[in-house]
Amino acid sequence: MLNMYEIAIPPLDRALSNLTSILKIGEEHADAKKIEHAIFLNARLFPDMYPLIRQVQIATDMSKGAAARLARLEVPKFEDNESTFADLYTRIAKTIAFLDTVDSAQLEGSESREVIVNVRKIDLKFSGQDYLLKWVNPNVYFHITTCYNILRHNGVELGKPDFLGSIN
């Protein structure tokens, strides 16, 4: 049987932890090359894409939203006022801390719970399983990958192991 906790919380936790590691490599690179942090933090892959800061905000919003909605909890509100690497680390840590408050019992039966998400004034309705597997996961990984790509595009030496993190 599908265990929603195991396919939701640990993978989101890991992805966000790996995002922190990626950002730290970016920050260290900026320091070593004497590049202002704001250059990386506000960098985009293309003019109509969000900058790195917003990519992190969306990845964390999707993660905390998933845990809360699947567990029938209120989604924590963050101010979206991050402007430094330290601010982003704090945001990610707060998100992981929230994920860690959710236990497997709270997600029992969530695969069939209706989840409604309002996106651009349109209600999207999902079963819990579809919400996690077809909406949350692709979005979280897209935005974390975009962070990786923004930094990589700007000369930060990153590789696939940095994205995947430790296998354990």
The domains found in the chain, sorted by start residue, are 4-164 (1.20.120.450)
Q: What contacts 70, CB < 8 A, 6 or more positions away?
A: 4, 8, 102, 106, 107, 110, 113, 115, 128, 131, 132
**Alpha-carbon separation of residue 154 from 30, 63, 124, 159 (angstroms):** 10, 26, 35, 14
Smallest CA-to-CA distance from 10 within 100, 129, 70 is with 100
**Residue range 76-119, pLDDT digits in tens:** 999 999 999 999 999 999 999 999 999 999 999 999 999 999 98
Are residues 62 and 136 in contact, defined by beta-carbon separation less than 8 angstroms? yes
Query: Taking the model in full, what pTM does it have?
Result: 0.95
**Each residue's pLDDT tens digit, 113-166:** 999 999 899 999 999 999 999 999 999 999 999 999 999 999 999 999 999 987
